[in-house]
Amino acid sequence: MKQSQTYYPAVTGTHPRPRISVSTILSIGVISTSLAYVSPYLLIIVSIILSFTIPYAFRENDDGESRRRLWNEFLENRQDLPEELKCKEIDLTEEYWTNSRGMCLYTCVMAPKNKQQVRGVICYCHGYMDTVSLLKRIEYQRFVNRGFAVVMIEYEGHGRSDGLSVFIPCWKTLIEDVEQYFREVTNTKFPNKKKFLMGESMGGAVAFDVMTRNKKEYEGVIFVAPMIKVSIAPPKIVVDTLRALLGEPGTVNALSVLPVAPSKGNIPDLSFGDKNKMRLATSTPTAFGRKPRLGTAREILDCTERISNSTSSFDSPFIVLHGLSDFVTCPKESEDFYNESCSKDKQIKLYKGMYHALTVGNSDEEIETVFNDAISWALERCKNPVEDFISKFQ
350-370 pLDDT tens trace: 999 999 999 999 999 999 999
pLDDT over 60 at 52, yes or no: yes
Nearest to 225, CA basis, from 152, 99, 306, 130: 130
Let me know if residue 383 belongs to a domain: yes
Q: Evaluate if residue 4 carries a pLDDT over 60.
A: no
Distance CA 124, CA 197 (A): 6
| 129 and 99 co-located in one domain | yes
Whether residues 52 and 158 share a domain: the answer is: no
CA dihedral (140, 372, 211, 326) positive or negative: negative
CB neighbour list of residue 133: distance below 8 Å, 6 or more residues apart: 71, 106, 108, 154, 159, 160, 284, 286
| Residue 225 · residue 323 · CB < 8 Å | yes
Within 8 A by CB and 6+ apart from 192, the residues are none
For residue 386, the one-letter residue type is V
Residue 387 predicted with pLDDT over 90: no
Say if residue 29 is in the same domain as residue 82.
no
Q: Which of 57, 74, 106 is the last residue of a domain?
A: 57
What does the DSSP assignment read for 86-155?
A: G-TTSEEEEEEEE-TTS-EEEEEEEE-SSGGG--EEEEEE--TT--SSSHHHHHTHHHHHTTEEEEEEPP
Residues 86 and 111 in one domain: yes
Structural domain containing residue 43: 22-57
Task: Give yes or no for residue 233 having a pLDDT over 70.
Answer: no
For residue 328, pLDDT over 90 is answered with yes
Give the model's confidence band at 389: pLDDT under 50 very low, under 70 low, under 90 confident, else very high.
very low
pLDDT value of position 174: 98
Q: Are residues 36 and 174 in the same domain?
A: no
> Quick one: pLDDT at residue 58?
84
The sheet carrying 346-351 orders its strands as: 2-3, 91-98, 104-111, 148-153, 120-125, 194-200, 220-224, 318-323, 346-351
Task: Please report which residue ranges of the chain form alpha helices under DSSP H.
Answer: 22-38, 40-57, 64-77, 135-139, 141-145, 171-189, 202-213, 236-246, 267-271, 275-282, 294-308, 331-340, 364-380, 385-391
Same domain, 30 and 120: no
Could you give the percent of the chain with pLDDT greater than 70? 91
Task: Using the predicted structure, report yes or no on whether residue 19 has a pLDDT greater than 90.
Answer: no
* Mean pLDDT in residue range 83-105: 95
User: Within a domain: residue 3?
Assistant: no
* Through-space distance between the first and last CA atoms of the chain, rounded to whole angstroms: 47
- Rounded CA gap, 240 and 343, in Å? 34
At 232, the pLDDT band (50, 70, 90 cuts) reads: low
